[in-house]
Amino acid sequence: MRPRRRALTALYACAALLAGCSSAGPARTSAWFAPASVAMMMQGNTSAYSLLGAGVAYLAYDPLAPNWEIIEQPLGEGHFAMQLRQRSINSGGDGEARQVVARRANLLMRDGGYSGYRLLRLEESVESTRPFAQRVAEAEIRLQRSATFPEF
């Protein structure tokens, strides 16, 4: 009796799946371009070159990429030097080097079991490189243990 029950259960499951597929409506397809942009191109409002240029500009700008590259070098127990380099093509963020250093110092502090940090040096400048100028910063921090509770 059990094999018959299993066969009926499998048959009902297949019937339910097939019924679900027939009532789902038209299948959606994924495309590189939105349908509106394709329609505009077909009507002559937008050329393929302008769409290609927009795609290249998006890839060059890459809004999801991090704005700063951090190179970190340990100088001793709880003593770190950081070199920060902002990406060449950006939209703002000129005064955020101090915030980036503070976030990285807080992360090092928490991961290392320290209670605080001291910013020893922070220098910001602009390197005139070709084709774009690039903002850079150098920082030096010292992580500190708690004086009141040394075990923390």
In a domain, 80, yes or no: yes
How many domains in the chain?
2
In a domain, 92, yes or no: yes
Residue range 17-31: average pLDDT?
54
pLDDT of residue 145: 87
DSSP string, 78-125: TEEEEEEEE-SS-SS-TT-HHHHHHHHHHHHHHHHT-SEEEEEEEEEE
pLDDT of residue 84: 92
In a domain, 101, yes or no: yes
pLDDT of residue 137: 93
Calculate ∠ Cα 5-11-13, nearest 5°. 105
Which among 44, 64, 84 is the end of a domain?
64
Q: Which domain holds residue 58?
A: 35-64
Residue range 93-112: average pLDDT?
89
Residue range 126-145: average pLDDT?
88
- Return the sign of the alpha-carbon dihedral for residues 115, 120, 126, 128: negative
pLDDT at 60 over 90: no
Count of residues in the chain: 152
| Pair (41, 88) in one structural domain | no
| Pair (94, 109) in one structural domain | yes
CB 67 within 8 A of CB 90: yes
pTM over 0.85? The answer is: no
Mean pLDDT of the chain: 77
